[in-house]
């Protein structure tokens, strides 16, 4: 028997539906972690109720996952990109496209597919502390987004230490020299780091020095900030992207372009503890 409008208002349920709200929540929770086909199987085992994989998918795409927000000042955040495989006509090669992940440290996470303006708007709606530490790797797209978040005077942009070391490792050469450069950079001493290469002209050195110049204002005294308990790496957002990928990149998964954002919302809702509230 379907729920009438009057019953729905009194009980807080959806009208003209035979769905138990708890069953729907269980379906959404399970499908946030695995394929719709596996969800259908597991729900049948757990509840004894058969809910087909197509119905599982419809439940996700009709659900209104709320935008997460925080009620305290965000002191740190990080951004990074992830990949999602789009559905293509049979016989054509897979297409992988980028989405952007956001981690408001100690707050919540979010992801946006081809919606950079929505990402910036969402972050700017949160209570952002001053200074706001913005952590990212060396990709221009990440820093272009940070440039639209909070006033410049409020942002403290920090280049991910591990990304910096990865680029240093690509220079190669003497390990003694690389260790000396690392020591300088750990203290934020860019000039001292560059001086270590004075007697070794090489194109790899030139690229690294250009990289340092590009991110000069983002290379800080990492030793000091770590001692103060602040983040110096973008591990939080890298973990977030991996966690999102555990759903959207499961074996065989490919998505209609129009459905990607809703699946990202569902996965982020799960990671934010939405289903346990």
Q: List pLDDT tens digits, range 192-211.
A: 999 999 999 999 999 999 99
What is the C-alpha separation between 51 and 29, in angstroms, rounded?
A: 14
User: Looking at the predicted structure, is the pLDDT value of residue 161 above 50?
Assistant: yes
pLDDT, tens digit, for every residue of 54-65?
999 999 999 999
User: Looking at the predicted structure, is the pLDDT value of residue 1 above 50?
Assistant: no
Q: Which two tokens stand for residue 164?
A: 């910096």
pLDDT confidence of residue 7: 46
Contact partners, residue 70, CB within 8 Å, separation at least 6: 104, 107, 108, 126, 127
User: Looking at the predicted structure, is the pLDDT value of residue 4 above 90?
Assistant: no
Determine the longest span between alpha carbons in the chain, in angstroms.
83
pLDDT confidence band for 277 (50 / 70 / 90): confident
pLDDT confidence of residue 5: 56
pTM for the whole structure: 0.89
Contact 94, 88 (CB under 8 A): yes
pLDDT confidence band for 3 (50 / 70 / 90): very low
pLDDT confidence of residue 94: 85
Q: What string of DSSP letters covers 150-218?
A: S-GGGEEEEE-HHHHHHHHHTT-S-HHHHHHHHHHHHTT-HHHHHHTTTT---HHHHHHHHHHHHTGGG
pLDDT confidence of residue 242: 97
pLDDT confidence of residue 43: 95
Residue 160, phi-psi category: left (phi > 0), alpha (psi -120 to 50), beta (remainder):
beta
pLDDT confidence band for 186 (50 / 70 / 90): very high
DSSP E strand boundaries for the chain:
74-86, 95-104, 108-112, 128-136, 155-159
Give me the chain's average pLDDT, please.
92
């Amino acid at each position: 028997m379907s729920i009438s409008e009057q019953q729905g208002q009194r009980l807080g349920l959806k009208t003209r539906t035979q769905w138990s709200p708890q069953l729907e929540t269980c379906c959404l929770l399970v499908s946030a972690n695995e394929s719709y086909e596996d969800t259908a199987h597991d729900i049948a085992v757990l509840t004894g109720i058969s809910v087909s994989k197509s119905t599982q998918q419809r439940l996700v795409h009709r659900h209104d996952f709320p935008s997460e927000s925080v009620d305290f000042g965000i002191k740190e955040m990080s951004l990074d990109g992830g990949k999602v495989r789009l559905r293509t006509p049979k016989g054509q090669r897979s297409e992988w496209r980028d989405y952007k992940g956001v981690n408001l440290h100690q707050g919540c996470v979010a992801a946006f597919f081809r919606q950079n303006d929505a990402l910036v708007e969402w972050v700017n709606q949160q209570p952002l502390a001053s200074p706001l530490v913005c952590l990212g790797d060396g990709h221009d797209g990440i820093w272009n987004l940070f440039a639209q978040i909070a006033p410049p005077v409020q942002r403290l942009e920090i280049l991910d230490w591990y990304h910096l070391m990865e680029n240093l490792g690509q220079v190669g050469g003497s390990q003694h020299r690389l260790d000396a450069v690392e020591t300088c950079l750990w203290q934020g001493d860019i000039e001292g780091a560059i001086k270590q290469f004075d007697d070794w002209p090489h194109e790899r050195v030139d690229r690294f020095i250009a990289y340092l110049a590009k991110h000069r204002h983002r290379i800080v005294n990492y030793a000091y900030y770590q001692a103060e308990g602040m983040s110096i790496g973008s591990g939080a957002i890298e973990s977030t992207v991996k966690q999102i990928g555990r759903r959207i990149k499961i074996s065989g998964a490919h998505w209609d372009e129009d459905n990607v954002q809703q699946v990202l919302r569902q996965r982020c809702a799960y990671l934010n503890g939405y289903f346990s509230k």
